[in-house]
Chains A and B, each alone.
Chain A
Amino acid sequence: MLTRSFIGLSLLGGLIAGCNPTPSSSGDFQPLSTDQVVFWDRQTTETAQLLQRITDEFNDSQEGLPVRIETTGNYGEIYRKVMASIQARQLPAMAVSYESMTAQYAASGAVVPLDGFVSAASGGLSPEELADFFPAVLESNYYSDYDGQLLSFPFSKSVLMLYANHRVLRLAGIEAPPRTWEEFLQQCRTIREKTGKPAYAISVDCSTISGMIFSMGGELVVDGVFQYDQPAARQAFGLLETLMEEELAYQIQARTFDDEVAFARDDVAFTIRTSAGSANMAVAMGGKNDDWSMNPLPQQNLDRPATILFGPNITIFKTGAEQERVAWAFTRHFTSVPVMTEWALATGYLPIRKSVADDPRMQAYWDAWPSNKVPYDCLVFAKTEPNLRGWQEIRSLVEKAESAVLAGLKSAEEATKELQVEAQATLARAQQ
């Protein structure tokens, strides 16, 4: 009897908790708080304080519910929290997310499409305002898996840059950082020769590979077909293979900042990183001086440059009309030109609107150090990774392939061929 009642109790609990393996669609999510609009964000320390100040200004300027920021861990942890909250049917009004996460939230029916807000007569974005956003910044927020709806809005974006350590370059007798991949390889060889050390610290990351492929003139996916067996991808992996064979580069530990450390100690000349890391790099290099610079990615064809844009967006959840309205108003406020300018100046994330160029503060910032303007200039030819279902899984496949090539266990040829097959199969399975 005892055992039976115990089992019965557990089953009951289990059914209450797990009774919704396939959550239904709209309408039945509760907001976390009925008198505040909660925003789950990732920022800590100084950037959190800035965000709080921006939020306070917004709250003072409007009549609706106040926005409240809650710092809840890193992006992965926020993602887990949101997924658990979806199961519990109680969500914040908005949260920061990457495109793959938004796609998953949308599949659970929790996301508010923003097209209506954008095109609304009042409180929306006029066609001029929309055109003021760089195209790449908006494009990954339209999801082809969901009829091309706008399911998220850009929050803090950055581009992939080539960081060059001029102290090491000068030692090797090199005047300026490379502008093409040919030059890059040559310079690595020269540096190795003159300093005896590798020139480049490699951080295994799918977005870096994607950026390399773009800058080598390729695409990632065309009409649902991956392009990993095409020349650009082959070239990207081939370059890595060559760099390792000739001991011109080495691999750093996963998800660390060891490459920045090596860069700062003059152990390497190059690292390829996000522009958002410039503030950190400045601390390590003793300021924004002429010992280092941020450059566009080396290109295959200088007439048709390309690079990659990434960064999190804001997703708004179905938590009721008033919550959603205020959430959108906040998003619009945050991405307005004055606020964006301030955010960009303080954090090093990119200002995503073209007309920030007219702001004197921005111009002063650009004049202060040449490299400050470079990421902004790259925005015009930046591209984004696909936001298809299954893309997250394919990212790990790309990183596995990259690791195999860097460890010398597979040739670039083999790795790209296998990757193509696996990626295509994964996409097919995810799209079912």
Chain B
Amino acid sequence: MSLWVGFSDGLDRVLAWADGHLVGRSGRPEGGRRAALCLLAPTLLLLGVFGVAPIVSTVLLSLFDLRYGNGAFAGLGNYQEALQSSAFWNSVRVTAWYLVGVVPTTIGLGFVVAWGLMHVTRGRTLFRTLYFLPYITSAYAAALVWRALLNPQGGLANGLLEWIGLPTQQWLLEPRGLLHVVTGGAVAADMGPSLALCCVMAFDIWHGLGFTVVILLAGLSAIPQELEDAARIDGAGVLQVIRHVTLPLLTPTLYFLLLIGTISGFQAFNSFYALTQSGGNTLGTTENLVIYLFANFYDNGRWGYGAAIATLLLVAIIALALVQARFARRWVHYS
């Protein structure tokens, strides 16, 4: 105990000394730069070496035409090839469908669950834990379970369909579009995401729900109860309260989830790989950008080309993040 007190005092004295150098006569931190350097140094070192350096070396790699370890400088050749490749644009399309399907749905469902959790008194801990379970399971093990449930022969999903009287489906093997399957062929098979892709999306929504709920719970609990009560007293119904009081105050959290969701959506890999391998079985309808990158990088040994795709991916994420930031000014309300 006294050891801790001694350490605590010593630390305090060190900090006070450091502060003395950082604070000017006005009392405000002086020369933000020096102080910031001290605070940021360890982080920047780590991120520099393990976070930024790989990006740099990847970009360097993309300028070479590496096949199977050997290759010459190729300038922008890899980028040219990517932008002209139909397989590349297919992977872009798959990624786009995935983002559109997963991000809003996870946030929407997460809101419903979080709102519900705020308004129940008993069993809160139990519910929270249950909804969080998928997020803390290893994606690999969870995918095995889903594959068993979605097995076209003998899986629960088809069992349910049979019980209801609907035709059974191929689920993770179905390259035809969801719309095509649901409308019995009225919509062309290659319009929209394939059924297999939709299964992967469902998995990721299930997996990511817990994370979204936790963040939304924090955001919701920061909204003062008085505001909601006041609106209720004024005669507003539940939905009106949500629309006019809760959601506007929640916009910063929603924006945060949108941004994080987009960034991780672009990088989705584990679920795709565990559920459908490299997408060959589904004729490329579950081959998103990272799977495409992976197949080229590892299966085909084309390191330069794979690195170029990774760089294009990075550029796309940054572009989309900037666009979202620009739009954010319009709909995000700060308190």
Contact = CB atoms under 8 A, between A and B. Distances in A.
A11 B49 CA distance: 9
B48 A10 contact: yes
A11 B56 contact: yes
15 contacts: A2-B36, A6-B52, A13-B53, A14-B54, A17-B54, A18-B60, A107-B69, A107-B301, A201-B153, A251-B152, A253-B172, A267-B153, A389-B68, A392-B299, A407-B174
Nearest to B304: A21
Closest 6 CB pairs of A and B: A18-B57, A14-B56, A13-B53, A108-B69, A10-B52, A107-B68
B295 interface: yes
Interface residues of A, number: 52
B172 A13 contact: no
A412 interface: no
A76 B278 CA distance: 12
A403 interface: yes
Interface string B248-284: 0000000000000000000000000000111011111
B153 A252 contact: yes
A53 interface: no
Interface in A1-56: 1-2, 6-7, 9-18, 21-23
B283 A403 contact: yes
A384 to B, nearest CB: 19
Interface of A: 1-2, 6-7, 9-18, 21-23, 76, 79-80, 83, 86, 103-104, 107-109, 201, 204, 250-256, 258, 262, 267, 389-390, 392-393, 396, 399-400, 403-404, 407, 409, 430, 432
Nearest to A1: B33
Given A104-B68, A256-B147, A393 B299 contact: yes
A108 B71 CA distance: 10
B56 A204 contact: no
Given A11-B56, A17-B54, A393 B70 contact: no
B61 A407 contact: no
Nearest to A103: B68
Contact of A21 (B48, B61, B154): B61
B301 A404 contact: no
Contacts of A262: 153
Given A107-B70, A403-B175, A407-B283, A254 B53 contact: no
Contacts of B175: 403, 407, 409
Nearest to A5: B44
B284 A400 contact: yes
Contacts of B72: 22
Given A14-B52, A253-B172, A400 B45 contact: no
Interface in B32-61: 33, 36-37, 40, 44-45, 48-49, 51-58, 60-61
A262 to B, nearest CB: 6
Given A9-B48, A23-B69, A396-B295, A253 B152 contact: yes
A72 B207 CA distance: 27
B283 A21 contact: no
Given A256-B147, A407-B283, A104 B69 contact: yes
B169 interface: no
A138 B8 CA distance: 70
B80 to A, nearest CB: 14
B132 interface: no
Interface string B282-318: 1110000000000100111101100000000000000
B103 interface: no
B118 to A, nearest CB: 40
Given A1-B33, A254-B172, A392-B299, 4 more contacts: A2-B33, A9-B49, A22-B72, A399-B280
B153 A86 contact: no
Given A262-B153, A399-B281, A404-B283, A21 B298 contact: no
B113 interface: no
Candidate in A15, A389, A396 with the most chain B CB atoms within 10 angstroms: A396
